A and B are shown apart, each in its own frame.
Chain A
Amino acid sequence: MAKAYTPGLKVTARTTYRVRRLLPVPGDVRVKVGDSVSAETVVAETFLEGDVFPIKVAGMLSVNPAELMPLMLKRAGDTVQVGDALARSKGIFGMMKTEAKSTATGTLESVSESTGMVIIRGAKTPVQVRAYVAGKIIEVIANEGVVVETDALFVQGIFGVGGETWGPLMIAGKSHAEDLLEEHINASMKGAIVVGGARMTAGGIRRAREVGVAALICGGIDDADLRDVLGYDLGVAVTGSEKIGITLLVTEGFGDIAMAKRTFQLLLAHAGKMASVNGATQIRAGVMRPEIAVPLGQASSGEIFTGGATAGILNIGTPVRIIRDPHFGLLGSVSALPEQPAVLGSGSKARVLEVALESGQRVIVPRANVELVGD
């Protein structure tokens, strides 16, 4: 039977959500403070320096690098096309001259008299940053980007793959504990953020990709199915740049795990609204979790959330979920916090706590193996 499980991540019905949208290198900001933006609005743009193509011209002409300069037909700053002659040898008595032709298109940047290498710089690449979430611009960071703010339903997941996307929120299953199957996905879900219940099955994922679903959100995923989607076994949880045509986000973890009932009900209540999803996950120092934001309008909630990990203090009565076997996924509240470390079944000594489970049973678990439940 599937178990409900929620990590100590942010799941809130309404929060003031702020997101920084920054260019990778300085450029132009296209909006101003107070502007209303949709997820698709371009808020800043710039050009990335072009690729660099080194060409060993002296070698192509069989001359000493120090003798190359007088043979150059193009100079630094000149535009060159593939096939253009960059330099020409003197030949023998003016005959049998050899030409060194460019293998790249761009601008000639430099000619080295030490190595005879010519550097061609390719055309600049345009880069655009979009708002990602519908809201208002509350800050412009000169030449870098903006801060967008909106009141939103906000859910942090535990793990995701694939980058940013947005679309209407659609619910595929009937309950938080129902696996997402192939038959739950239909053609009307193209471009949508689709919410399932428990585990996203291989069939459900395959159908969603065929239909063109923008993002799939479920409680769990099987390791083998993730491997099939990615085409490799994920070694470390640093994701977001996968080119798989869909963003996958799980709210609870790997295996047969139902989505937390509250999370499912919050998403269900906003079906039809536009949602923004980012699957990027980074579990290292400076942890980043995947997220779902559903803008609700401009009424302020008073609380401001800007991302990152959340944490709280354990007290008697604090609602928790156990996140490791043998009680993996069970819900309860802290019923005792013994000061002294205890010996675990593994033989290790660790600080523990007692959890009163929803079933009424009381179990002892290491403090490291629980997560907080709630906002």
Chain B
Amino acid sequence: MRIVATDCGSTTTKAILIEEKDGVFRQTFRGEAPTTVEEPFADVTLGVANSVTELQELSGYKLIADDGTIIRRKNASDPDGCDLYISTSSAGGGLQMMVAGVVREMTAESAKRAALGAGAIVMDTIASNDRRKPHEQIQRIRELRPDMVLVSGGTDGGDTKKVIEIAELIAPARPRPRFGGEYKLPLIFAGNKEARETIERVFSGEGFALSVVDNLRPTLERENLGPARERIHDVFLEHVMAHAPGYDKLMTWANAPIMPTPGAVGDILQTIAKGRGINVVGVDIGGATTDMFSVFGGVFNRTVSANLGMSYSISNVCAEAGMDSVLRWVHLDMDERELRNRVKNKMIRPTTIPQTLEALVFEQAVSREALRLAYIQHKSFATTLKGVQQQRTVGDAFSQKEAGGSLVDNMSLDLMVASGGVLSHAPRMEQTALMMIDAFEPEGFTEIAKDSIFMMPHLGVLASVNPRAAMEVFEKDCLVVLGWCVAPRGEVRAGRPAFDFTLRRANEVVAQGQLIGGEMRLVRFGHGEVGTLEVRPERGLDMGSGPGKPVTREVRGGAVGIVLDGRGRPLKLPTSAVERRACVEQWLKALEVYE
């Protein structure tokens, strides 16, 4: 079996070759070429063919025919071609949507979750209670140029008036589609089924292509995002992709529907979380945006932080976080005025790369803040359903959990997956690990991995046609395990013991010692090594079994090893500049970050 998969990004089209050898699927070659959606080429298949030609040159298999199409094998003994071709796409700015619902925290939020989960960028969320006056909402709708609109509102059988009011705001605003004026703007209605007839009448005028699916919030207690997400994918293919240059041709080449890139990443992370029964957080930090994914207790969430990125948006990260927050991670002398100008120069010349160590240290400091802010946004969005009445027992009366609480719990987080330039291309794996730890502050025992060559989108689509191949390649070639972070929740006292640890490999003690509050330590534990790590936290510190209680877990080795983090959670850096710098230097040295 031979599979070719491509991901058509805004600037680069990436191709990978997956082959089944001795009954096991492995990713064998990769190629890339500039994306050719924009003028003068205006045909995405040219970039696809160029990237697959690179695979051809590297692998020795003939994969591209003389007419520029991908060759298919007639049988397994055929030396040329592939058996399966699949693709994802985020070219041309990806899928951009406007969503609407009645109550911002309820149906509108569910609609936003459906759109984000399908891989869209949500341009705005309109709701009856979004604190804007109706004419301001209409003005906003008129300004937006979405690819499609998703309208929800009301539970099935409930009040119809409010959702019709929302529809009556959208219809006269006549939002125009982003591409071209000729085609009708796709609008999906996923609200109260009792309102369907009226909704159809409201949007019956020219300009809208209405489709109706099951209510995404049939009751307050239940979300039903599947039908809306599927319809978004269909509309993406029928309307949006069909109007992008060359996609009509690409769709005929592919064996599975072309998916929006982030939607595919979400799918593979869900597959992994389900397959291994774990909680996962994934991040993809790009030049303009940061995508966050999480699966906690089987519930998937995705957020896009639109202006948190490392090149186009680097200035926005510094503005939002504040330069002081960025510079707290820096251990070298830097002139703030010069840094501010450098940030702006990176913004206007986004393709430059750090040549000096000083420039790298600064960019990695910015990335910590971008990731931290994106994670805060994600945690506040990935919540249990709001507006749900909960039945409580006497025991619950003492619990702090309530409706609308975040699903993201760093103590129950099992795996963090890093991807995106600044994380994937960091010169040392230790840098990637520490950026992730500083930004996300994992608690207890957390495995850290990175996507080797940003293969997750390809595997997300592959999972829909060949789940075994997707899983095997994900485990063997996609993920590079960096190691583990082991950290207590709670406030540590500087200079006082935080926790004791003992790492054993087959009953032999590999490492043993005590972490002091504020200290970090690295225990090298390489690929393929398996051991047990026992930790005994001090009173008041929790490492997974409750405050002061010991924990023993199996750990696997990785490129970095086991990071013992005695800094406590939430992470607090000293306020004094001298002390802060001394701390940061100790952490960097302990983890051999820049050595």
Contact = CB atoms under 8 A, between A and B. Distances in A.
Given A255-B341, A285-B11, A112 B135 contact: no
B357 A224 contact: no
Given A115-B165, A347-B427, 16 more contacts: A52-B135, A110-B172, A112-B168, A115-B164, A224-B340, A234-B319, A253-B345, A283-B348, A324-B345, A324-B349, A325-B356, A346-B360, A348-B425, A365-B355, A366-B355, A368-B352
Contacts of A226: 344
B315 A233 contact: yes
Contact of A235 (B38, B161, B313, B349): B313
Interface string A194-236: 0000000000000000000000000000111010000001111
Nearest to B339: A223
B594 interface: yes
B172 A346 contact: no
Contact of A368 (B341, B347, B351): B351
Interface string B165-202: 10011001110000000000000000000000010000
Contacts of B319: 233-235
Contacts of B354: 324, 344, 346, 348
A317 B341 CA distance: 30
A138 to B, nearest CB: 19
B345 A255 contact: yes
Nearest to A58: B161
Q: Name the residue among B165, B174, B337, B428 with the largest chain A CB count within 10 angstroms.
A: B165
Contacts of A324: 345, 349, 352-355, 359
Given A235-B319, A255-B338, A349-B427, A325 B357 contact: no
Nearest to A343: B427
B350 interface: yes
Contact of A112 (B164, B288, B313, B347): B164
Interface in B6-55: 10-11, 38
Interface string A42-71: 000000010111100000000001000000
Contacts of B343: 223
Contacts, number: 158
A350 interface: yes
B355 A285 contact: no
A159 B346 CA distance: 12
B348 A114 contact: no
Interface string B118-139: 0000000000000000110011
Interface of A: 7, 49, 51-54, 65, 109-110, 112, 114-115, 117, 119, 121, 158-159, 222-224, 226, 233-237, 253-255, 281, 283-286, 323-326, 328, 344-350, 365-366, 368-369, 371
B169 A54 contact: yes
Contact of B316 (A49, A159, A235, A255): A235
B176 to A, nearest CB: 9
B522 to A, nearest CB: 17
Contacts of B572: none
Interface residues of B, number: 55
23 contacts: A52-B142, A223-B344, A233-B315, A233-B318, A233-B319, A235-B313, A235-B316, A236-B313, A236-B347, A237-B315, A253-B341, A255-B338, A284-B288, A285-B11, A285-B38, A323-B345, A325-B359, A326-B355, A328-B345, A344-B354, A346-B355, A366-B355, A369-B352
A223 to B, nearest CB: 4
Contacts of A54: 134-135, 138, 168-169
A186 to B, nearest CB: 29
Given A253-B348, A284-B312, A326-B355, A347 B594 contact: yes
A39 B160 CA distance: 54
Nearest to B364: A346
Contact of B168 (A119, A349, A371): A119
B320 interface: yes
A236 B345 CA distance: 11
A190 B151 CA distance: 51
Contacts of B168: 54, 110, 112, 114-115, 117, 119
State the 7 A-B residue pairs at the shortest beta-carbon distance, nearest first. Answer: A235-B316, A347-B427, A346-B360, A255-B341, A233-B319, A254-B344, A254-B341
A307 B358 CA distance: 36
A284 B11 CA distance: 10
B157 interface: no
Nearest to B315: A235
A155 B533 CA distance: 64
A221 to B, nearest CB: 9
